[in-house]
Structure 1
Amino acid sequence: MKFNSKFWSPIAASILLLSCSNEKNVEEEVKTTFTGEKNEIKLLTLDPGHFHAHLVKKSMYEEVDPKVYVYAPDGPELTSYLKSIESYNTREEDPTSWELEVYKGDDYLQKMLSEKKGNVMLTAGNNKKKTANIKATIEAGINVLADKPMAIDAQGFETLKEAFELAEKNDVLLFDIMTERFEITTMLQREFSLIPEVFGEMEKGTLENPAITKESIHHFYKQVSGKTLIRPGWFYDVNQQGNGIVDVTTHLVDLVQWESFPDKIIDYKTDIEMINAKRWTTDLTLEEFTLSTGLEEFPDYLQSVVSDGLLKVYGNGEINYKINGIHAKVSVIWNYKAPEGSADTHYSIMRGSKANLVIRQDAEENYKPELYIEPVEGQDIAAFEASVTKHVKELASTFEGLDVVKVEGKDSWRVEIPEAFRHGHEDHFREVTETYIDYLEQGKLPDWEVPNMLAKYYVTTQALELAK
């Protein structure tokens, strides 16, 4: 075992960097069932090339053993991951206490499966091999918590279907990290859509005016955990990261299902009708690429999409489809950098027969998501306001301090959300992980989760086929 002090402080001595030839016997048998016992989850981390891998470990979990086995190819992504874990372990406020045993080598998957030192595998990295890696891990009888997307093309979707079949056969749980279900405005949009006196019934919508629309704007150059995010070069290669239409839209398609048909099974063969899809590029200069990745030139694998000195990334996409007869539209845009003072933004509208539920996150909201309740034409405004006020008070029994205020000069009400419920994006990774731990202890996912994950990835991967 060798510790390189050039990169790591003495405080990080708990992170064990093992050479490819090192072997270690597991002293105790790894459990395959879960009861909520302390440290019973033995976590494996595979190829943590995306920053979401370390955000899961920004918090500690009573059921998760602090010792984590990491398997990855050597390189800057692994180094970045280890530094992030060290920063969590050494922060002044509420430090974590992760101990990492790291295997570095190109045969990282085979090594993990042969040693089988854990019972839950976390993966968040290069998506080119992710689906196959997930299937192999499930086949070995190991539970999997995977970052999105779990499939980036139609072939990957078929592999994912096989992985879910194996998960059922081997009695393990495969689950993807859907952080946006824990965003408070989305949670409340869903809650209000279930109140007929306020929302009415979901409209069917049309192609031109869908019943539910979700739009997301992201940025390649951004801050994460207070530091500039350095992305790997392959993040800009759609053959490795995936097109935008199969990446961030995974969240949006998930929310369409989760909000519009809560706890209902969606069968992609009968309940989904694809209509159309399109994609387009974001163009980056070499200078922008270098600032984002630290690489001085475009790698060979990106040369085919460089034209006139600009890197053309298919990061943008739009999908129009019908789910249970309801028109839905999701779209994602990737810009290079947010204007000063702004951030990633989200827009969503659910159209009901009595009111529209609208999430906005623009300059007017100081780039903080806000939920608005807007009655449709023909409603008795006084009666509508009374109904909204009544039901907000009822919801306040669950969301303490929840209130509503009328927007000046408009027939629109903004939901006043207490700061205690406004958890940041990074905190949502803890909430997803805690949900998955609950599922592990129950020994199963809710009946609707697996078919709805399949429906979600069917929509995204079929959309890519249409867009091409």
Structure 2
Amino acid sequence: MRQLLLASIGLALFMTACSGGSTKSSSETSQKKENMFTGAKGEVKIMSLDPGHFHAALVLKTMYDQVNPVVHVYAPDGPDVEDQLARIESYNTRAEDPTSWDLKVYKGADYLEKMLSEKPGNVMNTAGNNAKKTEYILKTVEAGINVLADKPMVIKPEDFPKLEKAFQVADEKGLLLYDIMTERHEITTMLQRELSQLPEVFGKLQTGTEEEPAITKESVHHFFKYVSGKPLTRPAWFFDTEQQGEGIVDVNTHLVDLIQWEAFPEVILSKDDVEIMSAKRWTTDLTPEMFTKVTHLESYPDFLQKDIENNVLKVYSNGEINYTLKGIHAKASVIWNFEAPEGAGDTHYSIMRGTLCNLIIQQGEAEGYKPRLYIEFTGDDLKAFAGNLNNGVQGLAEKYPGIELEKLGDTKWALNIPDKYKVGHEAHFGQVTEKYLQYLVDGKLPEWEVPNMIVKYYTTTEGLKKALEE
């Protein structure tokens, strides 16, 4: 009997060793199998949860072979979901290349519980009121559903551990949790990154200082704007930082992401790589007339009364973070104005300071409010640099046919980019979705994506904490 017992123990230890010491249950294993994708037509079934931001509709502005045309929408009843349904209907009925989404809509106070119990889909998309977004994400992955989320995934420092847990659960269940980083698909940013990876052109990224960071990203946005050719109506909660989040944790998500993506491409980062040096926040002030123009509401709702002084709504939509990432000084700042000058829109400014040149994206009046990439020589041997720059751009032209240098002065060039690459912000949502669909087929994200998403949201939430202290 003792020999039989020892043999049984030995067999159990052998089986554990063969499985790599895994203690995952059979239900967890079957869960992973259930979420495997092959790229087959219509296999991805999207559930749109509480779609209160137009980004939710932009994911569906185009059709995808891999995505089932039946989309299940779960939301509280109200104008937010009605606006989204109307926007998708406009895509379905447009004259050129109409979509054919078949929306199955559930409206009720128990929308989250209803989605989690019915589970008619295998990918949840959420873009809207950010107050509950981290909870949405965690509960969805706990239910065994993949998530494609609009930014930001978290707006409060105290909720950051909940987001970390969501990534842990997703990993344990073999699910893909991913945020929509559209700006990685903007062509001047893509080429800024490409040029920075050519040592003979860029040298290496400087260390920089807090006063003159090695890499700076600044984004200017506008509350009143046009989307898909129509004036955008913002919900009133968009102006409540308890629900939308302050600018320092909202739009800054994109800027911090780009800093990581450009300065340390495909490098796995950790929270220990980040040190917040300073941060600040300030308000954009809206008059009652401005508020009415963008929301179509005649008065401020009760939840905004806390932010009103002398009948003016003060929104902490602006913020700046100065920090180091692996010892490199960086700055990310976001500014919100009410409305852009005529002919203008949201703008982006960026500089990467190398030991041989600076790579600068500007989008001001001189550029016709269209982003343009400049190269400014800062080294010692101009002749050698000019030759290397020409060779470098010729090499990149094999990947991006049609790009070419324009000499603007002795030490300054512009990179001219064909219009075919300038697809616009709205099209980037389709590009991100296509990439996510491929990740589903691959069964995994790139190795660096999840740790770097965690670092990104650590940076923004710690930045907010610092700004609140100062």
Q: TM-score range by the shorter chain?
A: over 0.9
| Residues 1:31 and 1:95: Cα distance change in structure 2 (over 3 Å) | farther
Say if 2:269 and 2:452, in contact at 8 Å, map to a contact too. yes
Q: Does 1:315 align with 2:322?
A: no
Structure 2 counterpart of 1:212, from 195, 212, 215? 215
Cα displacement (A) at 1:420:
1.0
Normalising by structure 2, we get a TM-score of 0.92
Structure 2 counterpart of 1:264, from 249, 267, 287? 267
Q: In 1, Cα distance between the equivalents of 2:148 and 2:382?
A: 47
Alignment match, 1:175: 178
Q: In 2, Cα distance between the equivalents of 1:31 and 1:432?
A: 23
Q: Does 1:365 align with 2:375?
A: no
Q: In 2, Cα distance between the equivalents of 1:215 and 1:79?
A: 33
SS of the residue corresponding to residue 374 of structure 2 reads: strand
| Residues 1:411 and 1:341: Cα distance change in structure 2 (over 3 Å) | same
Matches within 5 A, 1:254-333: 254-268=257-271, 270-333=272-335
Q: In 2, Cα distance between the equivalents of 1:236 and 1:375?
A: 43
Letter in structure 2 aligned against 1:388: L
Deviations 1:406-465 (A, max 9, x none): 11x452110011111111000000000001001100001111000000000000001111
Structure 2 counterpart of 1:77, from 77, 80, 94? 80
SS of the residue corresponding to residue 429 of structure 2 reads: helix
Alignment match, 1:137: 140
Name which of structure 1's ranges 140-149 and 154-163 shifts more when overlaid on structure 2: 154-163
Cα displacement (A) at 1:384:
1.6
Say if 1:31 and 1:119, in contact at 8 Å, map to a contact too. no
SS of the residue corresponding to residue 60 of structure 2 reads: helix
Letter in structure 2 aligned against 1:384: F
Letter in structure 1 aligned against 2:283: T
SS of the residue corresponding to residue 320 of structure 1 reads: strand
Name which of structure 1's ranges 195-204 and 31-40 shifts more when overlaid on structure 2: 31-40
Alignment match, 1:401: 402
Alignment match, 2:92: 89
Q: Does 1:42 align with 2:45?
A: yes
Deviations 1:45-99 (A, max 9, x none): 0000000000000000000000000000011111110111110001111000000
Q: In 2, Cα distance between the equivalents of 1:411 and 1:210?
A: 21
- Unaligned stretches of 5+ residues in structure 1: 1-29
Report how many residues are paired: 436
Matches within 5 A, 1:423-438: 423-438=423-438
Deviations 1:127-152 (A, max 9, x none): 00010011000000000000000000
Say if 1:127 and 1:150, in contact at 8 Å, map to a contact too. yes
Letter in structure 2 aligned against 1:450: V
Say if 1:355 and 1:375, in contact at 8 Å, map to a contact too. yes
Alignment match, 2:341: 339
SS of the residue corresponding to residue 248 of structure 2 reads: helix
Q: Does 1:383 align with 2:418?
A: no
Alignment match, 1:18: none
Structure 2 counterpart of 1:158, from 136, 158, 161? 161
Alignment match, 1:413: 413
Q: In 2, Cα distance between the equivalents of 1:199 and 1:410?
A: 17
Say if 1:43 and 1:118, in contact at 8 Å, map to a contact too. yes
Letter in structure 2 aligned against 1:372: Y
Say if 1:31 and 1:40, in contact at 8 Å, map to a contact too. no
Say if 1:182 and 1:428, in contact at 8 Å, map to a contact too. yes
Cα displacement (A) at 1:31:
5.1
Q: In 2, Cα distance between the equivalents of 1:204 and 1:383?
A: 24
Alignment match, 1:17: none
Q: In 2, Cα distance between the equivalents of 1:412 and 1:381?
A: 11
Matches within 5 A, 1:176-195: 176-195=179-198
Q: In 2, Cα distance between the equivalents of 1:355 and 1:32?
A: 47
Cα displacement (A) at 1:383:
2.3
Alignment match, 2:28: none
Q: In 1, Cα distance between the equivalents of 2:262 and 2:197?
A: 9
Say if 2:35 and 2:174, in contact at 8 Å, map to a contact too. no
Q: In 1, Cα distance between the equivalents of 2:239 and 2:223?
A: 9
Structure 1 outlier segments of 4+, above 4 Å? none
Q: In 2, Cα distance between the equivalents of 1:139 and 1:186?
A: 35
Alignment match, 1:459: 459
SS of the residue corresponding to residue 65 of structure 1 reads: coil
Q: In 1, Cα distance between the equivalents of 2:407 and 2:384?
A: 14
Say if 1:237 and 1:313, in contact at 8 Å, map to a contact too. yes
- Unaligned stretches of 5+ residues in structure 2: 1-32
Letter in structure 2 aligned against 1:163: A
SS of the residue corresponding to residue 128 of structure 1 reads: helix
Q: In 1, Cα distance between the equivalents of 2:65 and 2:410?
A: 48
Cα displacement (A) at 1:350:
0.3
Q: In 2, Cα distance between the equivalents of 1:385 and 1:344?
A: 33
Q: In 1, Cα distance between the equivalents of 2:380 and 2:222?
A: 39
Letter in structure 1 aligned against 2:213: P
Alignment match, 2:58: 55
Name which of structure 1's ranges 308-317 and 409-418 shifts more when overlaid on structure 2: 409-418
Alignment match, 2:26: none
Q: In 1, Cα distance between the equivalents of 2:34 and 2:209?
A: 51
SS of the residue corresponding to residue 244 of structure 1 reads: coil
SS of the residue corresponding to residue 316 of structure 2 reads: strand
Deviations 1:86-134 (A, max 9, x none): 1000111100000000000011000000001000000000000010011
Between Structure 1 and Structure 2, the one with more helix by share is 2
Q: In 2, Cα distance between the equivalents of 1:197 and 1:220?
A: 42
Deviations 1:290-348 (A, max 9, x none): 11011110010000110001000000000000000000001000000011222111000
Q: How much identity, in percent, do the aligned residues show?
A: 60
Normalising by structure 1, we get a TM-score of 0.92
Alignment match, 2:238: 235
